[in-house]
Protein backbone atom coordinates (compact mmCIF):
# COMPACT_ATOMS: atom_id res chain seq x y z
CA UNK A 1 0.00 0.00 0.00
CA UNK A 2 1.40 3.40 -1.02
CA UNK A 3 0.01 6.36 0.87
CA UNK A 4 2.32 9.17 -0.28
CA UNK A 5 0.54 11.48 -2.70
CA UNK A 6 1.71 11.43 -6.29
CA UNK A 7 1.32 14.15 -8.92
CA UNK A 8 0.58 14.12 -12.65
CA UNK A 9 0.80 16.73 -15.39
CA UNK A 10 -2.56 18.12 -16.42
CA UNK A 11 -2.80 17.26 -20.11
CA UNK A 12 0.10 18.68 -22.11
CA UNK A 13 0.36 21.75 -19.84
CA UNK A 14 3.26 22.35 -17.47
CA UNK A 15 1.00 22.35 -14.40
CA UNK A 16 0.94 19.35 -12.08
CA UNK A 17 -2.09 18.27 -10.08
CA UNK A 18 -2.38 15.80 -7.21
CA UNK A 19 -3.58 12.32 -8.31
CA UNK A 20 -6.45 12.79 -5.91
CA UNK A 21 -8.26 16.12 -5.91
CA UNK A 22 -10.56 17.39 -3.18
CA UNK A 23 -14.01 18.42 -4.43
CA UNK A 24 -16.79 20.17 -2.52
CA UNK A 25 -19.77 19.62 -4.80
CA UNK A 26 -22.34 18.26 -2.35
CA UNK A 27 -20.72 18.93 0.96
CA UNK A 28 -19.53 22.43 1.74
CA UNK A 29 -22.18 25.03 2.36
CA UNK A 30 -25.06 22.57 2.33
CA UNK A 31 -24.48 19.10 3.74
CA UNK A 32 -21.54 19.77 6.06
CA UNK A 33 -21.11 22.60 8.52
CA UNK A 34 -18.43 25.12 7.65
CA UNK A 35 -16.11 24.10 10.53
CA UNK A 36 -16.15 20.41 9.54
CA UNK A 37 -15.58 21.35 5.89
CA UNK A 38 -12.52 23.42 6.83
CA UNK A 39 -11.09 20.48 8.83
CA UNK A 40 -11.52 18.23 5.75
CA UNK A 41 -9.73 20.72 3.47
CA UNK A 42 -6.86 21.17 5.93
CA UNK A 43 -6.52 17.39 6.34
CA UNK A 44 -6.47 16.97 2.54
CA UNK A 45 -3.74 19.60 2.18
CA UNK A 46 -1.66 18.09 5.00
CA UNK A 47 -1.85 14.70 3.23
CA UNK A 48 -0.48 16.10 -0.02
CA UNK A 49 -3.69 16.97 -1.90
CA UNK A 50 -2.94 20.25 -3.66
CA UNK A 51 -5.82 20.28 -6.15
CA UNK A 52 -9.15 21.71 -4.94
CA UNK A 53 -12.21 21.67 -7.20
CA UNK A 54 -15.43 23.62 -6.76
CA UNK A 55 -18.00 25.55 -8.87
CA UNK A 56 -19.95 28.78 -8.62
CA UNK A 57 -23.26 26.87 -8.46
CA UNK A 58 -22.38 24.46 -5.62
CA UNK A 59 -24.58 25.09 -2.57
CA UNK A 60 -25.94 28.19 -4.32
CA UNK A 61 -22.44 29.83 -4.40
CA UNK A 62 -21.75 29.07 -0.70
CA UNK A 63 -19.30 26.22 -1.46
CA UNK A 64 -16.76 28.61 -3.02
CA UNK A 65 -16.91 30.87 0.06
CA UNK A 66 -16.30 27.91 2.40
CA UNK A 67 -13.34 26.73 0.30
CA UNK A 68 -11.88 30.24 0.21
CA UNK A 69 -12.12 30.41 4.00
CA UNK A 70 -10.60 26.92 4.41
CA UNK A 71 -7.56 27.79 2.27
CA UNK A 72 -6.94 31.15 3.96
CA UNK A 73 -3.38 31.47 5.20
CA UNK A 74 -2.04 28.66 3.00
CA UNK A 75 0.61 29.84 0.52
CA UNK A 76 -1.36 30.48 -2.69
CA UNK A 77 1.33 29.07 -4.99
CA UNK A 78 1.26 25.71 -3.16
CA UNK A 79 -2.17 24.56 -4.40
CA UNK A 80 -4.25 24.51 -7.59
CA UNK A 81 -7.71 26.07 -7.41
CA UNK A 82 -10.34 24.86 -9.89
CA UNK A 83 -13.82 26.26 -10.40
CA UNK A 84 -16.53 26.34 -13.07
CA UNK A 85 -19.20 28.45 -14.76
CA UNK A 86 -22.50 27.67 -16.56
CA UNK A 87 -25.33 26.67 -14.21
CA UNK A 88 -27.71 29.33 -12.79
CA UNK A 89 -26.22 31.37 -9.93
CA UNK A 90 -29.12 33.79 -9.60
CA UNK A 91 -32.68 34.53 -10.80
CA UNK A 92 -31.71 36.79 -13.73
CA UNK A 93 -31.89 35.72 -17.36
CA UNK A 94 -28.13 36.33 -17.70
CA UNK A 95 -27.14 34.57 -14.47
CA UNK A 96 -26.47 31.34 -16.38
CA UNK A 97 -24.95 29.84 -19.50
CA UNK A 98 -21.71 30.73 -21.27
CA UNK A 99 -22.35 34.23 -22.60
CA UNK A 100 -19.42 36.65 -22.35
CA UNK A 101 -21.46 38.65 -19.83
CA UNK A 102 -22.07 35.70 -17.50
CA UNK A 103 -18.54 34.25 -17.84
CA UNK A 104 -16.79 37.52 -16.91
CA UNK A 105 -19.23 38.40 -14.13
CA UNK A 106 -19.17 34.86 -12.74
CA UNK A 107 -15.38 34.73 -12.76
CA UNK A 108 -15.15 38.02 -10.84
CA UNK A 109 -17.70 36.76 -8.30
CA UNK A 110 -15.82 33.45 -7.90
CA UNK A 111 -12.53 35.31 -7.30
CA UNK A 112 -14.17 37.30 -4.49
CA UNK A 113 -15.75 34.23 -2.86
CA UNK A 114 -12.53 32.23 -3.14
CA UNK A 115 -10.56 35.17 -1.75
CA UNK A 116 -7.91 35.02 -4.48
CA UNK A 117 -6.70 37.05 -7.45
CA UNK A 118 -6.51 34.11 -9.87
CA UNK A 119 -8.09 30.75 -10.67
CA UNK A 120 -5.67 28.02 -11.77
CA UNK A 121 -8.21 26.16 -13.91
CA UNK A 122 -11.51 27.69 -15.04
CA UNK A 123 -13.97 25.27 -16.62
CA UNK A 124 -17.12 25.46 -18.74
CA UNK A 125 -19.44 23.38 -16.57
CA UNK A 126 -21.47 22.07 -19.53
CA UNK A 127 -21.82 22.84 -23.26
CA UNK A 128 -24.07 25.85 -23.99
CA UNK A 129 -26.24 25.27 -27.07
CA UNK A 130 -27.56 28.86 -27.08
CA UNK A 131 -24.38 30.93 -26.99
CA UNK A 132 -22.08 30.99 -30.04
CA UNK A 133 -19.07 28.86 -29.10
CA UNK A 134 -16.65 31.52 -30.30
CA UNK A 135 -18.15 34.03 -27.85
CA UNK A 136 -17.52 31.69 -24.90
CA UNK A 137 -14.01 30.77 -26.04
CA UNK A 138 -13.09 34.42 -26.65
CA UNK A 139 -14.19 35.34 -23.11
CA UNK A 140 -12.15 32.46 -21.63
CA UNK A 141 -9.11 33.56 -23.65
CA UNK A 142 -9.51 37.13 -22.38
CA UNK A 143 -9.57 35.86 -18.78
CA UNK A 144 -6.23 34.10 -19.34
CA UNK A 145 -4.71 37.19 -20.97
CA UNK A 146 -5.94 39.35 -18.07
CA UNK A 147 -4.17 37.07 -15.55
CA UNK A 148 -7.37 36.11 -13.73
CA UNK A 149 -7.22 32.53 -15.03
CA UNK A 150 -4.16 30.38 -15.77
CA UNK A 151 -5.67 27.43 -17.67
CA UNK A 152 -9.06 26.48 -19.09
CA UNK A 153 -11.12 23.32 -19.43
CA UNK A 154 -14.64 21.96 -19.72
CA UNK A 155 -16.90 19.43 -18.02
CA UNK A 156 -19.11 16.76 -19.62
CA UNK A 157 -18.52 17.64 -23.27
CA UNK A 158 -18.68 15.05 -26.02
CA UNK A 159 -15.96 14.48 -28.62
CA UNK A 160 -17.70 16.52 -31.32
CA UNK A 161 -18.07 19.56 -29.03
CA UNK A 162 -14.41 19.31 -27.97
CA UNK A 163 -13.21 19.11 -31.61
CA UNK A 164 -15.35 22.09 -32.60
CA UNK A 165 -13.90 24.22 -29.79
CA UNK A 166 -10.27 23.25 -30.52
CA UNK A 167 -10.72 24.21 -34.20
CA UNK A 168 -11.90 27.69 -33.19
CA UNK A 169 -9.13 28.08 -30.60
CA UNK A 170 -6.47 27.14 -33.16
CA UNK A 171 -7.94 29.32 -35.92
CA UNK A 172 -8.20 32.37 -33.65
CA UNK A 173 -4.94 31.84 -31.76
CA UNK A 174 -6.80 31.44 -28.47
CA UNK A 175 -5.39 29.54 -25.51
CA UNK A 176 -6.39 25.87 -25.76
CA UNK A 177 -8.30 23.67 -23.38
CA UNK A 178 -6.03 21.46 -21.26
CA UNK A 179 -8.61 19.57 -19.20
CA UNK A 180 -11.86 17.67 -19.31
CA UNK A 181 -13.95 16.97 -16.19
CA UNK A 182 -16.22 13.99 -16.89
CA UNK A 183 -17.95 11.50 -14.67
CA UNK A 184 -15.82 8.31 -14.76
CA UNK A 185 -15.83 5.12 -12.73
CA UNK A 186 -15.69 1.35 -13.19
CA UNK A 187 -19.48 1.57 -13.67
CA UNK A 188 -19.58 4.71 -15.88
CA UNK A 189 -17.11 4.38 -18.76
CA UNK A 190 -18.76 6.55 -21.42
CA UNK A 191 -15.60 8.61 -22.10
CA UNK A 192 -13.43 5.65 -23.09
CA UNK A 193 -14.46 5.20 -26.74
CA UNK A 194 -14.36 8.80 -28.04
CA UNK A 195 -13.41 11.47 -25.46
CA UNK A 196 -10.26 9.75 -24.16
CA UNK A 197 -8.67 8.99 -27.60
CA UNK A 198 -9.35 12.57 -28.75
CA UNK A 199 -8.03 14.01 -25.47
CA UNK A 200 -4.82 11.97 -25.70
CA UNK A 201 -4.24 13.27 -29.23
CA UNK A 202 -4.98 16.90 -28.29
CA UNK A 203 -3.09 17.11 -24.98
CA UNK A 204 -6.16 17.21 -22.73
CA UNK A 205 -6.12 15.47 -19.33
CA UNK A 206 -9.15 14.11 -17.46
CA UNK A 207 -9.98 15.30 -13.93
CA UNK A 208 -12.73 12.80 -13.18
CA UNK A 209 -15.63 13.12 -10.79
CA UNK A 210 -17.55 10.40 -8.97
CA UNK A 211 -14.84 7.70 -9.22
CA UNK A 212 -16.79 5.74 -6.57
CA UNK A 213 -20.10 6.03 -8.51
CA UNK A 214 -21.59 8.29 -5.80
CA UNK A 215 -20.47 5.83 -3.14
CA UNK A 216 -21.96 2.67 -4.65
CA UNK A 217 -18.51 1.21 -5.36
CA UNK A 218 -17.58 1.44 -1.66
CA UNK A 219 -19.83 -1.58 -1.11
CA UNK A 220 -21.80 0.09 1.69
CA UNK A 221 -25.11 -0.31 -0.18
CA UNK A 222 -26.08 -3.95 0.14
CA UNK A 223 -28.49 -5.89 -2.10
CA UNK A 224 -31.87 -6.42 -0.47
CA UNK A 225 -31.12 -3.92 2.34
CA UNK A 226 -32.21 -0.33 2.92
CA UNK A 227 -29.50 2.31 2.34
CA UNK A 228 -27.61 3.09 5.59
CA UNK A 229 -28.97 6.04 7.57
CA UNK A 230 -27.08 9.26 6.85
CA UNK A 231 -25.72 7.99 3.51
CA UNK A 232 -26.01 9.94 0.27
CA UNK A 233 -28.89 7.75 -0.89
CA UNK A 234 -31.03 9.00 2.02
CA UNK A 235 -30.12 12.69 1.75
CA UNK A 236 -32.19 14.60 -0.81
CA UNK A 237 -29.84 17.61 -0.50
CA UNK A 238 -26.75 15.62 -1.40
CA UNK A 239 -27.52 13.78 -4.59
CA UNK A 240 -30.02 11.07 -3.59
CA UNK A 241 -31.66 11.41 -7.01
CA UNK A 242 -28.38 10.88 -8.80
CA UNK A 243 -27.34 7.76 -6.91
CA UNK A 244 -30.75 6.08 -7.32
CA UNK A 245 -29.81 4.85 -10.81
CA UNK A 246 -27.11 2.63 -9.30
CA UNK A 247 -29.20 1.19 -6.46
CA UNK A 248 -30.49 -1.69 -8.58
CA UNK A 249 -30.21 -5.19 -7.17
CA UNK A 250 -28.04 -6.51 -10.02
CA UNK A 251 -25.58 -3.60 -9.61
CA UNK A 252 -25.35 -3.93 -5.82
CA UNK A 253 -24.86 -7.70 -6.13
CA UNK A 254 -22.09 -7.30 -8.73
CA UNK A 255 -20.33 -4.65 -6.63
CA UNK A 256 -20.07 -7.13 -3.73
CA UNK A 257 -18.00 -9.33 -6.07
CA UNK A 258 -15.30 -6.62 -5.94
CA UNK A 259 -14.76 -7.18 -2.19
CA UNK A 260 -12.30 -10.12 -2.56
CA UNK A 261 -10.35 -8.23 -5.28
CA UNK A 262 -9.98 -5.21 -2.96
CA UNK A 263 -8.96 -7.47 -0.07
CA UNK A 264 -6.29 -9.19 -2.16
CA UNK A 265 -4.93 -5.77 -3.19
CA UNK A 266 -4.85 -4.63 0.46
CA UNK A 267 -7.37 -1.89 -0.27
CA UNK A 268 -10.85 -0.90 0.85
CA UNK A 269 -13.46 -1.08 -1.91
CA UNK A 270 -13.49 2.73 -2.09
CA UNK A 271 -9.72 2.83 -2.53
CA UNK A 272 -9.99 0.16 -5.23
CA UNK A 273 -12.55 2.29 -7.10
CA UNK A 274 -10.28 5.37 -7.05
CA UNK A 275 -7.21 3.30 -7.96
CA UNK A 276 -9.16 1.83 -10.91
CA UNK A 277 -9.75 5.25 -12.57
CA UNK A 278 -6.12 6.24 -11.94
CA UNK A 279 -4.92 3.26 -14.02
CA UNK A 280 -6.15 5.16 -17.11
CA UNK A 281 -3.06 7.12 -18.28
CA UNK A 282 -5.27 9.94 -19.62
CA UNK A 283 -6.64 10.58 -16.12
CA UNK A 284 -4.65 13.33 -14.39
CA UNK A 285 -6.66 13.37 -11.16
CA UNK A 286 -9.68 11.77 -9.47
CA UNK A 287 -11.95 14.02 -7.39
CA UNK A 288 -13.15 12.77 -4.05
CA UNK A 289 -15.50 14.42 -1.58
CA UNK A 290 -15.63 13.93 2.17
CA UNK A 291 -17.84 14.81 5.10
CA UNK A 292 -15.18 14.05 7.73
CA UNK A 293 -11.35 14.02 7.85
CA UNK A 294 -11.23 10.23 8.38
CA UNK A 295 -12.69 9.75 4.87
CA UNK A 296 -9.97 11.96 3.40
CA UNK A 297 -7.29 9.92 5.20
CA UNK A 298 -8.77 6.69 3.84
CA UNK A 299 -9.22 7.86 0.24
CA UNK A 300 -5.71 9.31 -0.21
CA UNK A 301 -4.30 5.81 0.23
CA UNK A 302 -5.46 5.09 -3.34
CA UNK A 303 -2.73 7.42 -4.66
CA UNK A 304 0.20 5.64 -6.27
CA UNK A 305 -1.53 2.23 -6.26
CA UNK A 306 -0.73 0.12 -9.32
CA UNK A 307 -3.30 -2.57 -10.06
CA UNK A 308 -2.11 -5.61 -12.03
CA UNK A 309 -3.61 -6.64 -15.36
CA UNK A 310 -5.12 -9.66 -13.61
CA UNK A 311 -6.81 -7.40 -11.05
CA UNK A 312 -8.16 -5.11 -13.79
CA UNK A 313 -9.53 -8.14 -15.65
CA UNK A 314 -11.10 -9.46 -12.44
CA UNK A 315 -12.89 -6.11 -11.92
CA UNK A 316 -14.24 -6.25 -15.50
CA UNK A 317 -15.43 -9.80 -14.95
CA UNK A 318 -17.11 -8.96 -11.62
CA UNK A 319 -19.09 -6.08 -13.16
CA UNK A 320 -19.90 -7.88 -16.42
CA UNK A 321 -22.19 -5.95 -18.76
CA UNK A 322 -23.36 -3.45 -16.11
CA UNK A 323 -20.93 -0.57 -16.83
CA UNK A 324 -22.34 2.11 -19.15
CA UNK A 325 -20.03 2.57 -22.16
CA UNK A 326 -22.38 4.58 -24.41
CA UNK A 327 -20.59 7.72 -25.65
CA UNK A 328 -24.00 9.33 -26.29
CA UNK A 329 -24.69 9.35 -22.53
CA UNK A 330 -22.62 12.57 -22.24
CA UNK A 331 -25.25 15.31 -22.50
CA UNK A 332 -25.57 19.00 -21.65
CA UNK A 333 -29.06 20.33 -20.85
CA UNK A 334 -30.19 23.85 -21.67
CA UNK A 335 -29.49 26.06 -18.62
CA UNK A 336 -32.55 28.17 -19.45
CA UNK A 337 -35.00 25.27 -19.86
Residue 263: how many other CB atoms lie within 10 Å: 12
Rounded CA separation 317/232 (Å): 27
Residue 247: how many other CB atoms lie within 10 Å: 15
Is residue 58 among the annotated active site residues?
Answer: yes
Rounded CA separation 110/250 (Å): 42
Cβ within 8 Å of residue 135, ≥6 positions away: 98, 99, 100
Residue 204: how many other CB atoms lie within 10 Å: 25
CA neighbours within 13 Å on the CB side: how many for 160?
6
Cβ within 8 Å of residue 222, ≥6 positions away: 252, 256
* Pairing assessment for the beta strands 20-23 and 16-18 based on DSSP bridges: unpaired
Catalytic entry in 58, 122, 184, 221: 58
Rounded CA separation 102/12 (Å): 28
Query: So which residues are the catalytic ones?
Result: 58
Amino acid sequence: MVSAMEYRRLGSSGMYVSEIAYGNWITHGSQVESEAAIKCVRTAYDLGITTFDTADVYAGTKAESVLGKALKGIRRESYELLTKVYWPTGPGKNDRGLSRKHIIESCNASLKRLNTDHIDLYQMHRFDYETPLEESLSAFDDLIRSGKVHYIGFSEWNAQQISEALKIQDAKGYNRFISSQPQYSALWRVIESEVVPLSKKEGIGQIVWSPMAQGVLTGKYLPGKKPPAGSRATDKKSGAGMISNWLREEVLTAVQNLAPIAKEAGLTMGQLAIAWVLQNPNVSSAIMGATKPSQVKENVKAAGVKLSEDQMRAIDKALGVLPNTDAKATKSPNPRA
